[in-house]
Amino acid sequence: MSIKIKAGMIAAVMCICMAGCGNKNDTSSADNDSRVAGGAVTKVTTQEEDTAAEESKAEDTDSKASDDDGEAQGPTGADSYEHSLTAAFADQLNTRNFSVTYAQNDIDSGEGMQLQYEETLEVNGTGGHQTIINADGSINEVYIVDGVCYSADENGELQITAMGNVMGDICSMVFGFSPAESEFKGAETYSDGTVQETFLDETNVTFVCTYADGKLTSCEGAGYLRDYKGFTEGGVDEIKLPEGN
């Protein structure tokens, strides 16, 4: 295959699939107010027993406070971006050796959730490889090598579609927005254990990242929903152009 240069498209952005993930203010969630009902049980004790019990309880409380020191995690989730699950996942992404698969859906078309495409993104250092399966079944492949973005045309020939710091903000490529550059609005933990962390980006668009068992399951904002299918840290070989290019 030969490489053709497409004029006028020198940009420091991803050549395909840089649309943000969606948000919906009425995102459904599990009831967080479930409580177990039960009657109080009383026990008659001596003053000495009461004193000993109070001292033991105080020691347990001090010990737990020491264990939790620095985590800043409460019953409703993290108190800041630095302590959030999103920040922890961003740290994994910034190691720059991973693969992630997600489906991007349009949830603001007025016709229900519509699949746009499913993407697998592989990253090794400054190199990247995207395999995009569109809703119509067609497939696009994109390679980012040495700061240049190549996309295969309908004949399978690679064209240069972008140049520069294409892989500069790896988190934006995965989340659909930049969490570190956005305002952390808070976190909420639900009775089923899921956690939702909310952000407001520089354009005042709200994004909601949902986690289950500490793993990112979806990101919603700007009318789109990214549904994450899998994430593997490490194991990605150096990204190279196909042979013959």
Mean pLDDT of 219-239: 97
* Cβ–Cβ < 8 Å for 3, 244: no
Query: Long-range pairs for 86-95 at CB < 8 Å and ≥24 separation?
Result: 86/175, 86/179, 86/197, 86/199, 86/209, 86/216, 87/179, 87/180, 89/216, 90/171, 90/179, 90/180, 92/233, 93/123, 93/170, 93/171, 93/174, 94/170, 94/171, 95/233, 95/234
Q: Which of 106, 88, 102 is nearest to 23 (CA)?
A: 106
Tokens 């967080």, residue?
32
What integer pLDDT is reported at residue 114 of this predicted model? 96
Q: Is the pLDDT of residue 155 over 90?
A: no
| 204 has a pLDDT exceeding 50 | yes
Residue 27 pLDDT > 70, yes or no? no
Q: What does the pLDDT look like over 112-123, one tens digit per residue?
A: 999 999 999 999
Contact 245, 148 (CB under 8 A): no
**Predicted confidence (pLDDT) per residue in 161-197, tens digit:** 999 988 999 999 999 999 999 999 999 999 999 999 9
| Range in 20-24, 87-91, 220-224 the model is least confident about | 20-24
- Of 34 and 89, the structure prediction assigns the larger pLDDT to 89
CATH class of the domain defined by 81-233: mainly beta
* Model pLDDT, residue 153: 79
pLDDT score for 59? 53
Contact 1, 244 (CB under 8 A): yes
Helix (H, G, I), strand (E, B) or coil at 140: strand
pTM for the model stands at 0.72
- Rounded mean pLDDT of the chain? 79
How many whole angstroms separate alpha carbon 73 and alpha carbon 55? 26
Tell me the mean pLDDT in the region 199-211: 98
Contact between 124 and 117 (Cβ < 8 Å): no
pLDDT tens column, 44-99:
333 454 455 555 555 554 544 444 443 455 556 899 999 999 999 999 999 999 99
Report whether 95 contacts 233 (CB < 8 A): yes
User: Cα Rg for the chain, rounded, in angstroms?
Assistant: 24
